Amino acid sequence: MCTHFQGFNLSRFQSVGPSYSQQNSHNQELRYAVTKDSLTWVLVMQSCVVSLAISSSNITDQLALLAIKSEIVYDPNSVLAGNWTENTNFCDWYGSHAAYAGRESQLCASPTWVFKAPFLHISEISPSLLSLVSRTIASMCQKLQVISLAINGFTGGIPQELSTLPLLRLFLDENNLTGIIPPSFGNISSLKVLSMAFNNLSGSIPTELAQLSNLQELYLNENHLSGLIPPELFNLDLRFNDLNGVIPSTIGGMTTLQRLYLGRNKIEGTIPNEICLLRNLGEIGLHDNKLYGSVPNCIGNLSSLQRIYLSLNTFRSIPSTLWNLENLLYLSPESNSISGTLDPNLRVLKALGSMDLSGNQISGNIPSTIGAFESLTYLNLSGNSFSGPIPESLSDLVQLNILDLSRNNLSGAIPKSLNEISQLEYLNLSFNKLTGEIPSGGQFGNFTAQSFIGNEALCGNATLQVPPCTSHTSKNSLTKDLLLKCVLPAAFAFAAISVSVFFILTRYQRKHVSSPVSVDLLPTGEYRRISYHELRHATNEFCEANLVGAVSFGSVYKGILSDGTDVAVKVLNLQLEGAYKSFDSECKVTLIPLVKETRKVDHGLGHSLREYGYEGKVSIKGDMYSFGIMLLKNFTKKKPTDDIFTGELSLRQWVSSSLPHRIMEVVDKGLTRKEDGEDMITTKGTILALMELGLECSKGLPEERSNIKEVVIKLSKIRSQLICNRGG
């Protein structure tokens, strides 16, 4: 007769998800999951059989087995549903048998389907019971192919008893295991997957693991392993350890390798070219190490590559062949020392979903072909030296969620077409040299000022902390003052003076050519040079005996030149307001023929054109002189005739003596003021450059003055520097 069980604490048996199952057509496919509530069952399982006491009732045994059946929640092939029924004698049920020996019997109540099942997942067991559980499994469950002891909080070392099983998959990850990896694991020749990640294992990786010829996946990440990488290993995940040394060249022999993860270690050196022999490689993670040099060109031949993680190293370049990887989904070489430019004819990777080139030294324009990377959802080019405009083609990235172009040298306007990217959730264009209006509408309504900070020439909605596009703001008033008060007026004045002088002299020449009245004081078209000394001699030192009379702005003296020519010399008092206008009118229209106008060499006529009338033609160098004096006047707000300029001191000498260290002492204080509580400090270098230009243009000798081309070039450079300072 069949006897009943003793010593069982029946409890619920937890189901196992499909990720831990392995398909099998045999009845033994039943998967068993043991929980901490069934701990008594595990202890009984240690002996495989349960001691039975002779009982007069078979009903008790049957009810016990039916109770077990009712607690099993995962029976994919209905092994028990069609066999363990009340219509069949329980001694004939699958998995139970009776052996008679006189009056005492034993029933193998360890149900055999448990020990013949190919998969066992144990969870929520007391952390201290790993060794006991392992010994039990090793002695009684020789048919197991998959064991999952993950996520239990097991402590202590890894039991070597597990190495005696013919396992295909062993999961010990996410516990608190310590100690070393047992070298005996190299004896599990059938092992295909070994996962011991997320523990506290230490020591080196045993070379015996290289004997696992069937191993396809090895997960040792997030431990404290150290030492060198055994060159015989393959199918590696060794992330988050303390491995050092170099990547062995023998890695090229791991021809079946599909994933290689060595990130977050202390690996040094370069990537060996032998890595290009791994034709099946789909993922490579070398991030956060001490690797340097160039990424091998041949990596572009690994057509199966889908994910490349190279960040946080010191690589100096990535090969152009990288863009041949048509299956690439993820490219991450950020935070390296990559320099150079991106090929403007970049090959389009239609499958690429994420590209991060940030934190490098890449320069040049952003290729417009990136707009054809139609699967991109993440694009980060920040922290480089990209210049030029933002490509309009980026608006074609309709799946883009994140776009970061911050901390570059991008210029021009923000393309309004970017608001057509309906999926865009994050945009960062800060710290560039962008100008113009920030687009409105579309996703731009969701972005904050942080997306545009550091671009001082942008304008738009006040909520973005930029000035409105239709008015000036005090934030940029200093720079605008410089432009509006100094550089631009100087440029316009220069042009106006040049045109005016040309017009006046042309008109003057026409008048004399067409006039029927001729004067024979001097040959037509010739004007002799008359020095100030000669005038003094002709007028007897401007004595009163030669004084003809007084006029509004001075006196008129008669005199006789050395060649006998009678002259009338008008001496203007430049201290009187309007004297300059009088001088100009005297040069333009005279009642008697004008022989020559002159000036006293020490200061005299200030910024008037020195060469008016010289040799009867316009002097370009005279235009330069006037322009130079005008620059000095605009910045100092001083006139050449101001009271401070007496004796040998002129406006030009006053400015020249302040260069370079005291230049701010002579500059008009209106250009250096405080606004909105901020120190608006005029760029000293810019003012110094303009003052030096004014001095160069107003030198005494015409041949020493800058020509018009040089002046235009220098003004352009000064203006560019102002704009650059505003953007930086």
pLDDT tens digit sequence for 459-483: 998 889 899 987 544 444 445 555 5
Strands 361-364 and 385-388: parallel
Collapsing DSSP states into helix, strand and coil, what is residue 720?
Answer: helix
Which candidate, 557, 552, 544, places its Cα nearest to that of 576? Answer: 552
Instruction: Please state at what angle helix 620-636 crosses helix 708-727, rounded to 10 degrees.
Output: 30
Q: How confident is the model at residue 166 (pLDDT cuts 50, 70, 90)?
A: confident
Average pLDDT of the chain, as a whole number: 72
pLDDT greater than 60 at residue 3: no
Decide if 303 is inside a domain: yes
Domain co-membership, 626 together with 499: yes
Q: What is the pLDDT of residue 553?
A: 62
Per the structure, the complete domain to which residue 488 belongs is given by: 479-514+619-727
pLDDT of 183 strictly over 80: yes
Residue 39, H or E segment: helix 39-45
Is residue 697 domain-resident? yes
Cα–Cα distance list, 96 to 4, 6, 108, 142 (Å): 11, 15, 6, 18
Hey, CA dihedral for 130, 135, 136, 141, is it positive or negative?
A: positive
CB 70 within 8 A of CB 152: no
Which residue type is seen at 649? L
List, in order, residues 6 or more apart from 680 with CB less than 8 Å away: 477, 478, 672, 673, 674
CATH number of 307's domain:
3.80.10.10
Residue 433: pLDDT over 80: yes
Q: Where are the beta strands (DSSP E) in 18-71?
A: 32-34, 52-53
Would you call 146 helix, strand, or coil by DSSP?
A: strand
Instruction: Looking at the structure, tell me whether residues 489 and 459 fall in a common domain.
Output: no
**Structure confidence at residue 79 (pLDDT):** 62
- Tokens 């001699």 correspond to 537
Residues 381 and 443 in one domain: yes
Kindly state whether residues 27 and 108 are assigned to the same domain.
Answer: yes
Contact between residue 281 and residue 300 where contact means Cβ atoms under 8 Å apart: no
Percent of the chain with pLDDT over 90: 27
Question: 206: closest CA among 187, 189, 230?
Answer: 230
Q: What tens digit of pLDDT does each residue of 31-84 get?
A: 344 443 333 333 333 333 333 333 334 566 677 667 766 756 556 566 667 777
Q: What's the whole-number mean pLDDT along residues 250-261?
A: 82
Residue 447's pLDDT is 92
Compute CA distances 485 → 139, 208, 231, 479, 610, whole Å.
Answer: 95, 81, 73, 10, 26
- What pLDDT does 231 receive? 62
146 has a pLDDT exceeding 80: yes
Strands 52-53 and 4-5: antiparallel
Examine the pLDDT at 663 and tell me if it is beyond 90: no
User: Are 333 and 379 within one domain?
Assistant: no
Cα first-last separation, the chain: 95
Q: Helix (H, G, I), strand (E, B), or coil: what is residue 269? A: strand
Residue 609 lies in a domain: no
* Of the residues 116, 135, 152, the one at which a domain ends: 116
What is the 3-state composition of the chain as percent helix, strand, coil, each rounded to the nearest 5? 35, 20, 50
CA 277 to CA 302: how far, in whole Å? 8
Say whether both 465 and 501 belong to one domain. Answer: no
Q: Which of 177, 204, 230 finishes a domain?
A: 230
649 and 678 share a domain? yes
Long-range pairs for 569-573: beta carbons < 8 A, 24 or more residues apart: 569/535, 569/538, 569/539, 569/542, 571/542
Does residue 180 form part of some domain?
yes
Dist. CA 266–CA 569, nearest whole Å: 92
Do 332 and 403 have their domain in common? no
CB contact set of 272 (below 8 Å; sequence gap of 6+): 246, 247, 248, 249, 251, 252, 296
Summarised one tens digit per residue, pLDDT across range 681-728 is 446 778 888 888 888 888 877 778 878 778 877 887 787 777 666 554
So what's the pLDDT on residue 347? 87
The pLDDT assigned to 233 comes to 61
Q: Is residue 133 part of a domain?
A: no
Q: 418 Cβ partners below 8 Å, 6+ apart?
A: 390, 394, 395, 403, 424, 427, 439, 442, 443, 444
User: What's the number of CA atoms in the CB half-sphere (13 Å) around residue 32?
Assistant: 25
- Whether 193 and 64 map to the same domain: the answer is no
Domain's final residue, options 308, 337, 366: 337
pLDDT for 132: 66
- Residues 372, 412, single domain; the answer is yes
Q: Is 121 within the bounds of a domain? A: no
Return the H-helix or E-strand segment holding 678.
strand 678-680
Nearest to 285 by CA among 242, 249, 232, 237: 237
SS3 state of residue 116: helix
Whole-number Å distance between alpha carbons of 333 and 317: 10
- The pTM for the full model equals 0.47
Number of domains composing the chain: 5
Under 8 Å between Cβ of 367 and 349: no
pLDDT, tens digit, 9 for 90 and up, residues 104-129: 233 333 344 444 445 555 555 555 66
What's residue 250's pLDDT?
81
Q: What pLDDT sits at residue 288?
A: 94
pLDDT in tens, 544-568: 778 876 655 677 888 888 778 888 8
Residue 122 is predicted with a pLDDT of 54
Pick from 108, 102, 105, 62: nearest CA to 85 = 62
Q: Do 647 and 509 reside in the same domain of the chain? A: yes
Residue 581 lies in a domain: no
Q: HEC states along 494-561?
A: HHHHHHHHHHHHHHHHHHHHHCCCCCCCCCCCCCCCCCHHHHHHHCCCCCHHHEEEEECCEEEEEEEC
378, 382, 387, 391: CA torsion to nearest 10: 20
Residues 6+ apart with CB under 8 A from 725: 479, 683, 686
Give the count of beta carbons closer than 10 Å to the beta carbon of residue 605.
19
pLDDT of residue 123: 52
| Residues sharing a CB contact under 8 Å with residue 15, sequence separation 6 or more, in sequence order | 33, 73, 74
Residues 222 and 324 in one domain: no
Q: Which helix (DSSP H) or strand (DSSP E) does residue 622 occupy?
A: helix 620-636
Residues 617 and 611: their CA atoms lie apart, in Å, by: 9
Residue 527 domain flag: no
Question: Helices (DSSP H) in 676-727: which residue ranges?
Answer: 684-697, 708-727
